[in-house]
Structures are given as structure tokens and as C-alpha cells.
Structure 1
Amino acid sequence: MHYTVAETARKLNVSPHTLRFYSKEGLLPFVDRSEGGIRLFKEEDFSWLFIIDCLKKTGLSIKGIQQFIKWAMEGDTTIEQRLEMFKERQEAVEQQIKELQDALEVIKYKRWRYEISKEAGTTAIHDKMKPEDIPEDIRKIKEKIERLYHFTE
């Protein structure tokens, strides 16, 4: 069974423009075309589209995705290159997750500060708070922020 760009876009929850962009950038060499030039996607193309989307989400450039697809199309002689690329992607994503986790902690801390400030009607409430008045999880985040950035409020 074949799917049009619009049908494929609906199934994958992406825009038709995204699929056309991928095609224009050479990311879809595996997609068949009708005699009239219309792209016709097969079920097995969805796994390619899934990995393209995954690599894009990791921050890999279009050029990097093109290289991966080229290697994949070349076959088994490029297994080592593809493995190294996925090792690099894993390291990059793990670093992104760590950075986002750190940012989430700061957001949790600041949210707590503003919730307390809102209840008190002033941000000055924090000047009078003792460490034991701060919930333990928030206190740990506060201490980490102060330790890392030599920052106090």
C-alpha cells in the first residue's frame, strides 16, 4: 500500500511541508514516485521517517542526517560509521538531558520562591526565612545553585 504526502503527514503527525523539505534536502532517497512525480510512501518508509525525526530532535544537522542516510543506503560497509554517529548522538542527548534537568531544578526553585512571595505579598519574605523553613527538596536545589554559581538572593 502507498500513501501520499498528505496521508503520510497525518499518520506521522507532521506537516506535509516537513516531508517535502526532507525530500528537497535529499533525506528521502528511498521514497517511490508515481509516473507523474508524486511521492508515494510505503509502510517501511515510516521507520526511516521515524529515525530522521529522532535524529533531528537530537540536534543533528540536516547535513549529518544526510550523511547517515547515505551510509545506511551504502549498506554493511558503513556499520562502524553509523555506530560512531549513534554513540556521539547518545552523548549529546545525555548532555542535553543533564542541562535540562539542571534548568528544571532552577525553575522549581524559582517557582517555589514566587509562590511563597505571592502568599506573603512580597519577595522580602525570603529575607526572613531560616533554612529549616524551606522544604528539604527546595533547600537542596538552593544550596546547589549557591554552590555552583556563588549566587544568593
Structure 2
Amino acid sequence: MTETLPPSEAARRTGLTLDALRYYEREGLIGPIGRTAGGTRRYTPDDVAWIGIVTCLRDAGLGIDELRRFTTLLRGEHEPADRVAFLRRRHAELADQLARTQAAMKVLEDKIAYYGG
């Protein structure tokens, strides 16, 4: 039998609130989450791992619509190339954003040094 976790423990392990977990489930980004006979959600290790992926992609700047698209690519009858293309596009966008952020940080560092920091 696979170990399952109550919502509070899943929230603790993922760093999300219970509301965020329920929201992600409602939006179809995670789940379906299993339930006990009494209707209480129970999260598997696979659920927690998937939540970690969704959280990482969210932290990388993907919006809910993009996360839905990625989830659809994984769950649907799509070719692996479609998934890779999606991830490569996002990777290129993040690399561009990182380069702009690094350039901005350099300007700030130069200004701090100039003004005597």
C-alpha cells in the first residue's frame, strides 16, 4: 500500500497553503487527488512530486494558462516533441529574462560603487 499524506502534510512538504493546493486541483494542474471514504484528500508521493514540478514552473514565471497547457501536453495524446518544444520556448524566455536581470544588476552594482557604497 502506498503511503498517503493528509492535506496539511502535503502543504507542509510542498510549501503551499491548503488553499493553493485546492486551487491547483480545481484548475486541473494537479490531481485528481485521491480521497478517503469520508471525502478527505490524501496525497501520494507522486502527487507531491508533481506539485513540486508545478511549483517550480510557477516560480519560473509560467502563468496558470501556461501551466494548464503544459499539463494538457503531459496528460493528453501529444507527442513528446510537443512537450519538449513547450519547455524549450520557456527555457529561451527565461534565459533572455536572466540576461536582462544580470545586465540590470551590473548597472546597479556600478551605481552603488560610483556613489560610494
- Comparing both structures, which one devotes a greater share of its residues to helix? 1
Q: Which residue of 2 aligns with 1:49?
A: 51
TM-score by length of 1: 0.67
Question: 2:82 aligns to what?
Answer: 81
Higher radius of gyration, 1 or 2: 1
- How does the TM-score come out when normalised to structure 2? 0.86
Extract structure 1 runs of 4+ deviating beyond 4 A: none
The match for 2:107 is 106
- Asked whether the equivalents of residues 13 and 48 of structure 2 are also in contact (C-alpha less than 8 Å), the reply is no
> Which runs of 5 or more structure 1 residues have no equivalent in the other structure?
117-153
What is the CA–CA distance in structure 1 between the aligned matches of 2:42 and 2:51, rounded to whole Å? 13
Tell me, in whole angstroms, the C-alpha distance in 2 between the residues paired with 1:37 and 1:70.
26
Aligned length: 115
- Provide the secondary structure at the position in 1 that maps to 2:43: strand
Paired amino acid for 1:109 = D
- Partners of 1:58 and 1:92 within 8 A in 2: no
Q: Which position in structure 2 is the counterpart of 1:6?
A: 8
Give the CA RMSD over aligned residues.
Answer: 1.7
5+ residue gaps, structure 2 = none
Alignment of 1:1-150 (within 5 A): 1-74=3-76, 77-115=78-116
Hey, what's the Cα distance between the residues in 1 that align with 2:72 and 2:37? 25
Other structure's SS at 2:79 match: helix
